Amino acid sequence: MSSAFFTVRGAFAEALIQTPAQTEGPYYPDHLPLDQDNDLLIINDSITPAVGQIAWVSGRVLDASGSPIRGAVVEIWQADDHGAYIHSRSPIANRDVNFQGYGKFETASSGEYLFRTVKPGLYPGRTRHVHMIVNVPGRSKLTTQLYVQGEPQNNSDGVLSGIRDAAAKSSVVVPWTAIESSQIGELAARFDIVLGLTPEDAPAGPKPTIAKRSAVVNAAAFQQGVAPGAWISIFGDNLAASTRTWNAADIVDGKLPASLDGVSVTIDNKPAAIQFISPTQIKTPTPNTGSQRSTLLSTCVLFVSRPSRSFTC
């Protein structure tokens, strides 16, 4: 039974986790610098760089189906090596005048963004973190924060601890790893930002809602067109009350679970196994009905038992 379990799990990529929204905090620059590019180490044509351990922060901005978003404007701001912000009420006054402190980057078709900065300093009451805002035309902006994996202060940080969902919390804490080719100890941090539904897709209440665009896609390539027997991802909102993947205890007598925490999917009147659930995504293999169609099977009904709700996807 264990052998079959691990073989199936390795057949597809990890499920996407929507990046959680977090507080903007009190230190968004009250006077934006004239230089607002993505290199926070050098201000304009200065020849004096900022002090601190150089870090390259990069990643992609993705929609709920995993597709890259073009034209997303990513803003970052953070404390310098001393723990000071470019803000008149910064908790640390000894600011590095050579540190830009704020930058922005607009993504191209790949959804990629990149910043050169320093590993953020510490100030009383917080762990190391980078503030981020993502603005995409036609969507609500996302405000979040990025953290340094392994920091002792992470365990006591009030903002980070405020993220109750374990998977969502883990998604914003990433390794800042040494770049092997660097002779000056530079770091690299990779942080993909996954946006939720667009405003027109957002649900008005607690009822489960399927996203209107890219709602049901192939789970391996995140593309439209799903054949019988293929793995699919269903995207939406209020799809489940918890976030988890099936485990060995869910597999009984060699049978994959037909529901997780009260969530089940029926396709063409046949129950589908449930591999992953979250409020915004469900992953399941489609039952092999013998149909040769390359499009999604005709009827997909999702049941959420707590509260009891169902809808067609």
Per-residue pLDDT of the chain in tens (313 residues, 90 and over written 9): 322 222 233 333 446 889 999 999 999 999 899 899 999 999 988 889 999 999 999 999 999 888 899 999 999 999 999 999 999 999 999 999 999 999 999 999 999 999 999 999 999 999 999 999 999 988 888 999 999 999 999 999 999 999 988 999 999 999 999 999 998 999 999 999 999 865 555 555 666 665 544 455 544 444 445 556 667 777 666 777 777 888 888 888 888 888 888 888 877 677 888 888 777 677 787 766 554 443 444 455 555 544 445 444 4
Name, in order, each residue with C-beta under 8 angstroms of 74's C-beta and a sequence gap of 6 or more. Answer: 61, 104, 105, 106, 107, 113, 132, 133, 134, 193
Domain identity same for 214 and 108: no
Task: Supply the CATH number for residue 88's domain.
Answer: 2.60.130.10
Average confidence score pLDDT of the chain: 80
Question: What residues make up the domain containing 154?
Answer: 54-194
Does 148 share its domain with 216?
Answer: no
The answer to whether residue 8 sits within a structural domain is no
Would 30 be classed as within a structural domain? no
Residue ending a domain, among 194, 228, 263, is: 194
190 and 258 assigned to the same domain: no
Q: Is residue 39 part of a domain?
A: no
- The total number of structural domains in the chain stands at 2
Same domain, 185 and 232: no
Q: 226 CB contacts (<8 Å, ≥6 apart)?
A: 216, 217, 218, 232, 286, 294, 295, 296, 297
Are 241 and 264 in a shared domain? yes
pLDDT at 293: 41
**Domain presence at residue 61:** yes
**43 within domain boundaries:** no
In a domain, 242, yes or no: yes
